[in-house]
A and B are shown apart, each in its own frame.
Chain A
Amino acid sequence: MAMLEVSDIHTFYGNIEALKGISLEVEEGEVVTLIGSNGAGKSTTLRSISGLSPPREGSIRFKGQEIGETPPQDIVRLGISQSPEGRKCFQRMTVRENLDLGAYMRKDDYENDMTRVFDLFPRLKEREKQKAGTMSGGEQQMLAIGRALMAQPELLLLDEPSMGLAPILVERIYETVAEINKQGTTILLVEQNANYALEVSSRGYVLETGAVALTDASSKLRENPDVQAAYLGGG
């Protein structure tokens, strides 16, 4: 049984059907990536899983438990946390306050995880008392990922971690993503910038207009001429 089983979900924004029957699976320990162009439904899929935009039809099972209608706060408690699209750090709070909020649902002592995040992103340790809004895009991305880790997730959802960042930084972020996975966190990744995403992931799904167009091992997807033409800037 896969850790996350999404089967045939339909998610709507008002009357607009953003997801038209998406199915996917994530096995424990994997990094899985969703690629696709703007409006393909990548972020909506993550929002459906995290409960922010619950699906109207279909089922989402996490470790065998149905979570399609579970409110977001309970989904975080079950072990899924997300770094949302556009980072959405709390601009006027310090790095530490942001991380504290990441651990909002936890009642235990989370100082260990704070240390872990600072080890993964030493830059955040340097800026511990600085307001998130005064940091660069790359630093805020690190903070968004770190904040999601504070919830101690088994499954981490990353929404476009490379958005708006310089290539050198994207590389650094992806090294850290691989490191987080190595430490035992399963990752579901959404990317427009497919190059790095396919490098770090084991499998990928290609979404087009709210449906899965193609799925394969990441290495195969990288060699697929259609994928190259559409998402890898090759052709």
Chain B
Amino acid sequence: MVSIVELPFPVIVLIFGALLLGRYLARENRRAAIGFTVAVVVWAAAVPLFLDSSGGVIEDCIIALAYVVMALGLNIVVGYAGLLDLGYVAFFALGALVMGYLGSGFVSSAGGGEGIHIFVSEATQSLPGLHVNFLLVLVVAVVVAAIGGVLIGLPTLRLRGDYIAIVTLAFGEIIGRLVLNGDELVVGGQKVTNGRQGITPIDRVDLPGLEPFKSLELKPWYWLALALILLVLFVNSRLRDSRLGRAWIAIREDEVAAASMGIPLVRTKLMAYATGAAFGGMSGALLASYYNTVNADQFRFAFSIFILAMVILGGLGSIWGVVIGAVLLSFINSYFIPDVFNEVPSKIGLDFDLTQLSFGIFGFLLVIVMVLRPEGLLPERRRKLELTGSVATADEDIFEARA
């Protein structure tokens, strides 16, 4: 496929930004909000038509979309239920590992060396190892990540606030270490992971009725990621307005009061962990196939912080805020810092690349946002109220007649 016209990247971003801003400003007007939502989605779907389909920009776009899925997942845990999770990378790892196991030659003994193949294209059918259709892998990744979320959630149930953060941080780190050293861990004659070398190559996504995805024709990847986002957006917004969503927000507001209302704390919190983790796993499976490798260097603590920063930057609990935050940080990380401004330090006579400063830059941006707009770029209405404060009426007004 050749693009219709190649638009410069900044133009694409500007249009996207303008549409999202419109969506935000129109949020009180239901019909206008729906109109803008449709416009945002149509524009997002049309973007690849204006891009070189094997170029760097569309690559960055696909990664940004995958990050949006993860950020929306983390938003459920941190934004809705108020459980600060610093180990979200664990679910990226679980999803990616599921893709690695079920879509590569890694499990080489499968089917007696012949390989096991479930609904995959002919090209793959002669390869050894496990090869399962991507849609099934996606389902397994979601289930495995959700179970992982519950397991990580369980020990935090008795904890609050910062302590939850510490426990989840540790779990994220444990999974990262496990992937790193998994090549020395042999279970039933099978290595658990390939450590730093990574499990590679991974099967390309292969959807029923379509050609298997290729590495030089990136549009289908983009549209698949966008489809996942639409699914996640739908689930996110339905959950927010559901009984469960109200229970999450009640727990975030006041745990004791929520319990007095008859909200089952254990079940409700575990549901938040499981749902959030499921999206992480989904995105992890997609990214594993897209990157064509599952290796230990992908699963670092910094990644959890990266995703968390997207959620905070955009606005905790705000769906559109999180989308913006994720897209913005992702592009700053994979486009603006390495491609646009990387040479700046050397041009002014300094001897380093800007990429070395990435996390310093994210930190700086977060600080700026926290100072200028502590509730995030597009805040959730409820949270905005908390941070801007408000005047309480005096008891004296309640009854005019006073003794």
Q: Supply 26 A–B pairs (Cβ within 8 Å), ascending by A.
A: A72-B259, A73-B263, A73-B264, A75-B262, A76-B261, A81-B262, A88-B254, A88-B256, A88-B257, A92-B383, A92-B386, A97-B246, A101-B258, A104-B246, A104-B247, A131-B385, A131-B390, A136-B392, A136-B393, A136-B394, A138-B395, A138-B398, A151-B261, A151-B262, A166-B396, A169-B399
Q: Determine whether A10 belongs to the interface, using a CB cutoff of 8 Å to chain B.
A: no
Task: Tell me whether B162 is interfacial, beta carbon within 8 Å.
Answer: no
The chain A residues found within 8 Å of chain B, CB to CB, are 50, 52, 71-73, 75-77, 81-82, 84, 88-93, 97, 100-102, 104-105, 123, 131, 133-139, 147-148, 151, 165-166, 168-169, 172
B246 touching A101 by the CB < 8 A rule? yes
A72–B266 CA distance with the chains assembled, in angstroms? 11
Instruction: Among A73, A76, A138, find the residue whose CB has the most chain B CB atoms closer than 10 A.
Output: A73
Please encode chain B, from 377 to 403, with 1 for each CB lying within 8 Å of some chain A CB and 0 for all others: 000001101100011111111110011
Rounded to whole Å, the gap between the CB of A54 and the closest CB of chain B is 12
**Is B260 in the interface zone, CB < 8 Å from A?**
yes
Kindly report which residue of chain B lies nearest to residue A164, judged by CB atoms: B395
Task: Across the interface, name the chain A residue whose C-beta is closest to B396.
Answer: A166
Given A72-B259, A92-B386, A105-B262, also A166-B395 (CB < 8 A): yes
Q: How far is the CB of A121 from chain B (nearest CB, A)?
A: 10
Q: Given that A168-B399, A169-B398 are known contacts, is A77 also in contact with B262, CB under 8 Å in the complex?
A: yes
Contacts of A102 in B (CB 8 A): 261
- Given contact pairs A91-B253, A123-B398, A134-B391, A147 touches B383 in the complex (Cβ within 8 A): no
CB distance from B403 to the nearest CB of A (A): 6
Q: Contacts A77-B262, A92-B383, A92-B385 known; A101 to B393 CB distance under 8 Å?
A: no
Tell me the smallest distance from the CB of B256 to a CB of chain A, in Å. Answer: 6
Complex interface: chain B residues within 8 A of A123 (CB): 398
Residue in B261, B394, B396, B398 whose Cβ sees the most chain A Cβ within 10 Å: B261
In the complex, whether B250 has a CB less than 8 A from a CB of chain A is yes
Residues of chain B within 8 A (CB-CB) of A97 are 246
Q: Are A104 and B256 in contact (CB under 8 A)?
A: no
**What string of 1s and 0s marks CB contacts (under 8 Å) between B11-29 and chain A?**
0000000000000000000
User: Nearest Cβ distance between residue B395 and chain A, in whole angstroms?
Assistant: 4
- With a cutoff of 8 Å between Cβ atoms, the chain A residues found around residue B386 in the complex are 91-92, 133
State in angstroms the CA–CA spacing of A218 and B344 once bound together: 81
Q: How far is the CB of A141 from chain B (nearest CB, A)?
A: 10
Partner of A101, one of B261, B385, B392, B402: B261
Closest-by-CB residue of B relative to A105 is B262
Contacts of B403 in A (CB 8 A): 168
Find out whether the CB atom of B395 lies under 8 angstroms from the CB atom of A169: yes
With A71-B264, A123-B398: A133-B390 Cβ-Cβ less than 8 Å? yes
Residue of A nearest to B385 (CB): A92
Assuming the contacts A84-B260, A93-B382, asked whether A136 and B399 have C-beta atoms less than 8 A apart, the reply is: no
B268: nearest residue on chain A (CB-CB)? A73
Interface residues of B, CB < 8 Å — how many? 32
A72, B262: Cβ atoms closer than 8 Å: yes
Chain A residue contacts of B399, Cβ below 8 A: 168-169, 172
| Shortest Cβ distance from residue B119 to the other chain A in the assembled complex, whole angstroms | 41
B-chain residues with CB within 8 Å of residue A52 when the two chains form the complex: 256, 259-260
Known: A90-B254, A123-B398, A136-B398. A81 touches B260 (CB 8 A): yes
Name the distance in Å between B159's Cβ and chain A's nearest Cβ.
15
Interface centre among B256, B262, B390 (most CB of A within 10 A): B262
For the complex of A and B, the 4 pairs showing the least CB-CB separation, nearest first, are A76-B262, A88-B257, A105-B262, A92-B382
Shortest Cβ gap from A138 to chain B (Å): 4
Task: Decide if B382 touches A135 in the complex (CB within 8 Å).
Answer: no
User: In the bound complex, what is the Cα–Cα distance between A151 and B197 (angstroms)?
Assistant: 58
Contacts of A148 in B (CB 8 A): 260
Q: What residues of chain A lie closer than 8 Å to B261, measured between beta carbons?
A: 76, 101-102, 104-105, 147, 151
A201–B397 alpha-carbon span in the complex (Å): 29
* Contacting residue for B395 out of A93, A147, A151, A165, CB 8 A: A165
Q: Is the CB of A89 within 8 A of B394?
A: no
Across the interface, which residues of B come within 8 angstroms of A93, CB to CB? 249-250, 253, 382
